[in-house]
Structures are given as structure tokens and as C-alpha cells.
Amino acid sequence: AQSVTQLGSHVSVSEGALVLLRCNYSSSVPPYLFWYVQYPNQGLQLLLKYTSAATLVKGINGFEAEFKKSETSFHLTKPSAHMSDAAEYFCAVSPTGTASKLTFGTGTRLQVTL
């Protein structure tokens, strides 16, 4: 069985500041990990995914995430927040080889202020 915990349902940062969204996972097998973003009134869009290759994964819109097995974490970061980054972000995990069976976290809403 697998699960995902996203710490902080709401995160607020100033424009230009570092964005850090936390995700910890639990999985009985080596996991595949994903970050999705959901803008208002839209579906989810894949930001990036870890599939057991490089532990530092770069995604779209300047986001990246690092897989840390020892910490069972897959935190999402962006060096400089932009107003357009305001959205809800979801971390998800799936057992290796079965990306169709995603288990999602509860989401973190990112607010970007001037």
C-alpha cells in the first residue's frame, strides 16, 4: 500500500521568494512520484515525475523536486515565485510500473503575494 502526506494545506510566499512544497510518501515497493498542478477551474496538469532515474527531477515552469529515499520525501521547489504560480499542487505516488494507480495527497494551495 502507498500513501502521500502533504504538509501544509496552504502556503503563502512573496513574489520572487523561494517556493517549497512538502511531500512525504509511504510505499511498500520502490515508488514512482508525481507533482501535479491545478489552476482554478481547470484539471490537473503534470509538473514533473520521478521514475527511478535521476533523483533531481526538473519540470515545467521552473519547478524541480528531489527524491530522497532516506527521508521518504519528494519536496517541490522553485527558486523564485511568480504570481502565475498561484494554484493547488498535488503530490502523488504509485507503485513502480503502474502509474495508472495513483494515490494523491490532499493538496497544497500556493498563494503568491506582491
Positions touching other proteins (CB under 8 A) are: 4, 9, 32, 36, 41-46, 49, 51, 90, 92, 97-107
Q: How far is the CB of 23 from other proteins (least distance, A)?
A: 12
Nearer to other proteins, 20 or 60 (CB): 60
Least gap, CB of 102 to other proteins (angstroms) = 7
The 10 Å CB-count burial string (b at 16+, else e) for 80-110 is: ebeeebbbbbbbbbbbeeeeeebbbbebbeb
For other proteins, the closer of residues 13 and 34 by Cβ is 34
76 vs 102, beta carbon nearer other proteins:
102
